[in-house]
Structure formats: structure tokens, C-alpha cells
Amino acid sequence: MFSLMSPTSLLVETPDRIAVARHYVMCPPDYFDVQYAINAWMDPGIPVDRGLAAAQWNGLRDAYLGLGHRVSLLEPLSGLPDMVFTANGATIVDGVAYEARFRHPERAPETLAHRAWLAGGVARAVQASAVNEGEGDFLVTERCILAGTGFRTEPAAHREVQELFGRPVVSLQLVDPRFYHLDTAIAVLDDGRASDRPDIAYFPGAFTPEGRAALTGLFPDALAVGEEDAAVLGLNAVGDGRNVVLPVQAGGLVADLRERGYHPVLVDTSELAKAGGGPKCCTLEVREPLSR
């Protein structure tokens, strides 16, 4: 990964990183709230400042626009307080959308909202027959799709995704309730679209020994992140191959990311963290057909 520029200067050469323009789907937090507890972060007794949530969400959207990405909006619906977390609504690869099938009934209607949006023509929607929470548990790279299970998504959905998208799916068991979706424990820094070298950051403590072995086998250069940064949702980050949008609370990652040639973009999503979500949870990627 690193090479010495000359044996005497000991300067470390950082790799050149290339950003690939993305198309994201976001949903404004108009009805955001913590009304039920379906993960370890949520406490309905703690009030939510919806105005602050909206300001933070706007900051995230503006960060994407500033990086040159396209952001489409899903219309928020009252009664669906978690709808801001669009990542959970589907997994979209090559213009095909594998729909979510939520674990908890509170979120089930979100699938219909995503389906209606997809019917606009951006991707062909395919209904899932197994419980899965979209990009919350499916992290797409050019080489493989990393798939989480243990809290939300069922292994049967991993098999369905492998068949549907024709990319190898690597099943990873999550073991720590703070990291209940895979996108809280792994960040795809570079999906390999521009570099042909997918790159991830992950928190080893969220996985079984088998899962850790699979990750080090597939990504020997992966950035292993410490508990302090992972526990503030630092891995709920969105990488485009060069820029990495991540929570400002995970400042410990900034130097590591820079050293690897990335450009960290810090955003504050503290209000959304009351529901267990960060930047990635608020972001669903539309991978269009023939995008490469």
C-alpha cells in the first residue's frame, strides 16, 4: 500500500484517490422521532430536537452536493419516524433494486414508499422473500457484497442477493448490539469502481473470529478502527473513492484516512444518532445500469 519514495527521506507516498460521482437518495427528517426502541441506541424517553436534526441532515445533503454528487429526495411520511434512514429501503446494483423487508413492523411501510419512488423508473424493483434491511446490511463493492446478519437481515436474503446481482456475497455475523447493522461496523471507503482496489474500514470487535478472518483475507490492507471511534458511529461513513463523509465525533479517524490518501469530510449527525443512525444510514445509493 505504501512505498518509500527514497530509502533515506522516509517519506511515505499516499495513494492517489479518485472520486466517482454518485447518485444518492435521501429523505428529509420532517417526522423524525424516537417513538420506539428497536436498537440499543434508541430511548423514547430522550427528547429529539427535530429542528436540529433537520439542520444536520441539510448539512449532510450539502456536503454531498458540494462533492459533486446527485441527491434525489424521497418524500417523508408522517408516522414513519425512521424514514430518514433511506439506506435501509433497498439495495440497488446495476439498475436493479432488491427491496427491503423490515425486521420490525414499525418500519415495514417504508418499503412501499421506496417502491413508489423506484417506480419513477430509476431502477427495476424486485421484491424480497427474506427479511433484509437494504444497504444497512449489504455493502456493495466491485469485488463482492459484504452482508451482515445477526440482528436484522436473514442469511436467506444474502443468498437471494447473490443470485440476483451475480456478485459473490460474504456473510458476516454481527455480535455486538451497538453494531446492529453492517454499515455501523464497516465503512466502504472505496468500492473499487475507479481504483479496482476496494478498500474498507471496520471495527473487528463487531464480528466473530470467522468474520474477522474473512475480512482480513479479502481486505488485507483494511483499516482496523478502534472502539472509541466505532462507538460514535464513526464507521457509518460514505466513501466515494476519495472523499469520506463521516461523523465529526469520530475525529480519531481523520489522520488514518488522510494517511491512506482520503479526504475526510466531517458532518454532525448527533441528533440522528439518538435513533442509531449516522451519515450512511441517511444515504441510499442508486447504482445505475452501465454506470461503469
Q: Which residues are catalytic?
A: 181, 281
Residues near 163 by Cβ (< 8 Å), separated by ≥ 6?
none
Span 271-290, contacts to ligand ARG by CB under 6 A:
275-277, 281
38 belongs to the binding site for ligand ARG (CB under 6 A)? yes
Segment contacting ligand ARG (CB under 6 A): 57-65, 139-147, 190-198, 270-278? 270-278
In the complex with ligand ARG, the residue whose CB is nearer, 39 or 149, is 39
In the complex with ligand ARG, the residue whose CB is nearer, 82 or 176, is 82
Type of residue found at 155: P
Least distance CB 172 / ligand ARG (angstroms): 14
Least distance CB 28 / ligand ARG (angstroms): 16
Which residue from 87, 99, 89 is spatially nearest to 125, judged by alpha carbons? 99
Beta strands in 151-191 (DSSP E): 169-173, 186-190
Among 87, 125, 206, 250, binds ligand ARG (CB under 6 A): 87
Q: Report d(CA 111, CA 134) in Å as an integer.
A: 10
Which of 96-128 are b and which e, b meaning 16 or more Cβ less than 10 Å from the residue's Cβ?
bbbbbbbbeeebeebbebbbebbeeebbebbeb
Among 99, 160, 183, 191, binds ligand ARG (CB under 6 A): 183
Span 116-155, contacts to ligand ARG by CB under 6 A:
136
181 belongs to the binding site for ligand ARG (CB under 6 A)? yes
Q: Where are the alpha helices (DSSP H) in 97-236?
A: 110-118, 155-165, 209-218, 227-230
Task: By CB under 6 A, name the binding residues for ligand ARG.
Answer: 38-39, 42, 82, 85, 87-88, 107, 136, 181, 183-184, 275-277, 281
